[in-house]
Structure formats: C-alpha cells, structure tokens
C-alpha cells in the first residue's frame, strides 16, 4: 500500500494530469500551558503560508466529534465529515495528499479517516510541511465541490471491548510516550497506565530526526520485535486516536494492517470500572 509521498513526488503529482487534492491539517495537542501562552492556531499557521492550492481542515471540528465519554477525539459524525471533505474538494476519482506541520499525527488522522471510510488513494506528505522545499502561498483556494461519500469499512476500527480482547489474542500497541504507558506521568487523562496486555510502542520511534518515516524494512523489524509477526492481528491506541493513527500509518508503510481504537486512553481511563496496568510489563 502506497501511503506516503515525498515532497519531490508531490511536486510532480501537482503538475500531472490528475493533481491531488491537498489538505493542510496543522494541529497540536492542547495541554496545560504557561500562563499567557496562546494555544496553537492551525488556521493562523495555514494563513501565514501553505502548500499552493492546499485547503485547511480543522482536526478538532472536522476530523473528530465532541469530546466526552467517547474520548477527546471520538469519531466525527460521518455525514458532517463527508460534507467537510466535499467542501475541501475531495472526490473519489482524485488522489488526496494530507500534511501537517511535520509531526505527522494530525495528517495521519485525516489519512486514517479517509482510508477507513473508503477513499481509494490517500497519502501523507512524509515529513510534513518542513519537508516541502517549494514556495508557500497565502492565497486561500475555493475548490469545486467534491463528491466523496464516506462508507465506513467493516474492519480497521476497535472499541474498548475489542481493544481489550485484542490485547489478549493478538498485539495491541500503545503509541504514547513510555512514561505515560508506565503510569509515571499523566498530563491529560484521569489516570496513568495502560490497557492490560498492551505493548509499549511509542510512535515517535517510527521516524528519524528529520520527521520522516524509517525505511519500511526497519519498521517491519521493529514491529516484529514487538510481537507483530506474520498472521498476528494488530491494533493500536494512544491518548485520543491521533498519534495512534500515526502508528497505524507506520504499520501500513511496513506492510502490516492494523486497526485503531479511536477512543483510546482518554475513553478507556474515563471509566473507573476498566482495569489499568502500570509499569513496564504489559500485564
């Protein structure tokens, strides 16, 4: 599966006969900040300069539902998601390329949603906007209405019960930082720790210092060493289904299909009746 695209490949694709729709999904996780420090504004970042022709997509409003019992970034209403994608010009017959500021998490969330709902050709700009070497534009395009209709797949999505079962029967990766997995710190959610049986696999270890994904063979070896051998069912969760999508993308680069628990730790930990494991041991 061809799920990432380099900056040079994107330049060529934009000059081709069927150029991709480009989506700018710049976003940063909101955590407690020092007094007076403003939150990150993705739309303002987009307005200051973006890949020419790119359309801004708001992760919190268009790629997620309302925060609540289902987690901080639950699935969006699919009718609203489809309308947002059509406004951005997304059609079934045109490729889509998504990018963010370079971390890759937000772009991966857009990639996963489009892929899971049936778009046949979606790729993430490897390295994000920091990898782009062309000029930036401040012009805001008004794309022609697209025709994309989201049709959710029958696989690729986990709920809390399915994630717990997969941690016993297959491999469930926890894509968060190791200290959150171990329960040493928890800056956002009710309690620290991990789903019993889940394996710590921080998604930050899937990329190099330049923010680009490691070679596919290196990723395959990494995931194999963590238990994702051939034929093993694989799932991923994170804090709220954003960085976890990035790990699903890394697994796709490695040729390993994986499902995403969108509610992730923000949903799991909100229910005091669900078990919580701490420390480095999965169990």
- Write out the catalytic residue numbers: 238
d(CA 192, CA 269): 8
Tokens, residue 88: 């951005």
Give which of 246, 252, 245, 207 is closest to 228, Cα–Cα: 252
Q: Which of 49, 53, 26 is nearest to 39 (CA)?
A: 26
Q: Are strands 259-261 and 157-158 parallel, antiparallel or unpaired?
A: parallel
Beta-carbon-side half-sphere exposure of residue 63 (alpha carbons within 13 Å): 29
Please state, in angstroms and rounded to a whole number, the distance separating the CA atoms of residues 204 and 198: 17
For residues 222 and 211, give the distance between their C-alpha atoms in angstroms, rounded to a whole number: 17
> Using an 8 Å Cβ cutoff, are 271 and 198 in contact?
no
Reduced to 3 states, what is the DSSP secondary structure of residue 78? helix
């Amino acid at each position: 599966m061809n799920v990432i695209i380099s900056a040079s490949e994107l330049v060529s694709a934009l000059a081709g006969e069927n150029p991709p729709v480009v989506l700018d999904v710049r976003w940063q996780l909101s955590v407690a900040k020092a007094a007076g420090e403003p939150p990150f504004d993705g739309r303002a970042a987009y307005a200051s300069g973006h890949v020419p022709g790119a359309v801004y997509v708001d992760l919190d409003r268009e790629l997620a539902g309302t925060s609540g019992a289902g987690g901080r970034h639950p699935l969006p209403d699919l009718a609203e998601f489809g309308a947002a994608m059509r406004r951005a010009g997304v059609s079934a017959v045109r490729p889509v390329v998504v990018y963010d500021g370079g971390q890759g998490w937000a772009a991966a969330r857009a990639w996963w949603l489009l892929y899971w709902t049936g778009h046949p050709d979606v790729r993430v700009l490897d390295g994000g906007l920091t990898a782009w070497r062309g000029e930036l534009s401040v012009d805001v395009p008004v794309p022609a209405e697209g025709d994309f209709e989201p049709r959710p797949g029958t696989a690729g999505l986990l709920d809390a019960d399915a994630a717990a079962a997969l941690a016993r029967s297959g491999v469930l990766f926890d894509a968060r930082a190791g200290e959150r997995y171990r329960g040493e710190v928890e800056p956002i959610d009710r309690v620290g720790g991990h789903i019993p049986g889940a394996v710590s696999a921080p998604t930050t270890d899937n990329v190099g210092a330049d923010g680009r994904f490691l070679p596919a063979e290196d990723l395959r070896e990494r995931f194999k060493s963590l238990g994702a051998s051939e034929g093993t069912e694989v799932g991923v969760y994170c804090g709220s289904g954003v960085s976890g999508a990035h790990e699903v993308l890394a697994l796709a680069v490695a040729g390993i299909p994986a499902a995403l628990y969108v509610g992730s730790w923000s949903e799991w930990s909100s229910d005091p009746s669900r078990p919580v494991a701490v420390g480095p041991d999965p169990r």
